[in-house]
Amino acid sequence: MENSRFLRACRRLPVDCTPVWMMRQAGRYLPEYRALREQHSFWEMCKTPELATEVTLQPLRRFDLDAAIIFSDILVPVEAMGAPFEFIESRGPVLEAPVRTAAAVERLRVVEARETVPFVMEAIRLLRRELDGRVPLIGFSGAPFTLASYLVEGAGSKQYQHVKTMMYAAPDIFHTLMRKITEVVISYLDAQVEAGAQVFQLFDSWVGCLNRDDYREYVFPYNQRIFRALAGRGVPMIHFANQAATLLDLVRDAGGDIIGLDWRIDLDTAWEIVGPDRGVQGNIDPILLFAPVETIRNRTARIIRQADGRPGHIFNLGHGILPTTPIDHAKALIDAVHELSAR
C-alpha cells in the first residue's frame, strides 16, 4: 500500500496521475445509500460496523477512487463525552442540551475512544479486510473548534453567536472545553490508526468564522497539540479548514502533512502560502458537479494546471459532495482527474 497513488501523493512522491477522493463520498447522493437509510437510522448505520463498512464501500463500487474514508460522523466522540444528540433529517445533528455553562463543561468526560466508541475501530478492521489492499483507508475526526461549536450552539449555525460569546466573555470556560475535546480527539484518532487507518483527516469545518487573532488564541494551540501528539504514528495527516483562505499560513503552522483547501482560493496561490514542504488537497467547488460535463472537465484541467505536476497534490472537492449531485457528473470528475493528469 505504501506504493499506492494516494499514499505516495501524501508523502509528496511522484505518481502516475493525480489521486482523487471526495469528501462525503459515501452518502446521500447514492441511491444504494438511500435504500439502506430507509431500513436503518443514521446512528444505527454509524454504530453498526457491518453497515458502516457497507456504506464506505458503496462509492468504490461505482467510481475509480484512490482512497476510502470510513463512514461515520464527526460528533461520534462528542456523544461519548456525555453530550447526547439526535440526527434530524431536515436539520442534521441537534444536541439535547447545549453546553453553555461552566457546570455543563465540567460534566463532559474525557473518554478513551477504544472503550467508548469501539464500533468505529471494528468498522476500520472490517474495512481493511474488505479492501484487501485495493485502496488506502482514511480515518477522521472533527477538530476541537468545530466540535466545540456544535456543543455550544447545539446545532448548525450561521452566526456562531453562542460559541464566540463564550470565547470572548468566558475564555476560561472555553479553553477548558477545548482542552477536554482535544484529548478526546487525540485518543480517537490514535485508536483509528491503531485499528488500521492509513491516513487521517482533521476536519475544521466551522473555523472560517474566526479572524486571525482569534484563531491564534483559541484554535491554534489545540490543533497543534493534536498533530504533534500523533506525528510519531507514521501515517500522513491531512488538515482541512473550511473557509480559511485568510488563515492558511496559521493552519499550515498548526500541523498536517497535507493542507486541505476549499474553493475560495486558487490552488496555486494557496500552495505558495502553504509552502513546498507540504502537499495540498482540493479544491473544486461542489456546485460545479451540477454543471455540464464539459465545464467540469475544464475546471478540473485548470486546477491540474495550477498544481503544475508538483508532487503532493490530492484532488478533492472544496467541501462535501451535495446530496442531489448527479452520479454521472461525479464519475466524470473522477475520470477527468486521472485522464488529464496522467504523467
The residues carrying an active-site annotation are 24, 28, 37, 73, 150
3-state DSSP assignment of residue 166: helix
Gap between the Cα atoms of 209 and 285, Å rounded? 19
Lookup: cell for 152: 455550544
For residue 294, how many other CB atoms are within 10 A of its CB?
9
Strand partners, 237: 200
| Segments of 236-311 assigned E as strands | 237-241, 258-260, 279-281
Strand partners, 260: 240, 281
Cis ω for the linkage preceding 242 (within 30 of 0): no
Burial annotation 212-247 (CB, 10 A radius, 16+ → b, else e)? eebbeebbbebbbbbbebbeeeebbbbbbbbbbbeb
Nearest Cα residue to 122 out of 186, 69, 61, 53? 53
Nearest Cα residue to 68 out of 49, 50, 82, 54? 54
For the chain, helix, strand, coil in percent to 5 are: 55, 10, 35
Burial degree of 266 (CB within 10 A; 0-12, 13-18, 19+): middle
